[in-house]
Amino acid sequence: MWLRLLCTLLIITGASVAAQAKSQWQGCLPADVDADEVISAEPSLSGQPAKKITVASKLNQIGARCRAKRLVDAKGKQIHFYRLTGCWGNPPENYQEILDNQRQELARLRRRYRVIEISCNPSGLMIQ
Q: How do residues 70-105 score in pLDDT, each as one tens digit?
A: 999 999 999 999 999 988 888 999 999 999 999 999
**pLDDT value, residue 71:** 96
Average pLDDT over residues 23-28: 78
17 in any annotated domain:
no
57 in any annotated domain:
yes
Structural domain for 57, as ranges: 22-118
102 in any annotated domain:
yes
12 in any annotated domain:
no
Per-residue model confidence as pLDDT tens digits over 59-69: 999 999 999 88
Q: Give the number of domains in the chain.
A: 1
8 in any annotated domain:
no
124 in any annotated domain:
no
125 in any annotated domain:
no
1 in any annotated domain:
no
36-44: long-range pairs with CB below 8 Å, 24+: 37/118, 37/122, 38/119, 38/122, 39/116, 39/117, 39/118, 39/119, 39/122, 40/117, 40/118, 40/119, 40/122, 40/124, 41/119, 41/121, 41/122, 41/123, 41/124, 42/124, 43/124, 43/125, 43/126, 44/124
Average pLDDT over residues 26-50: 85
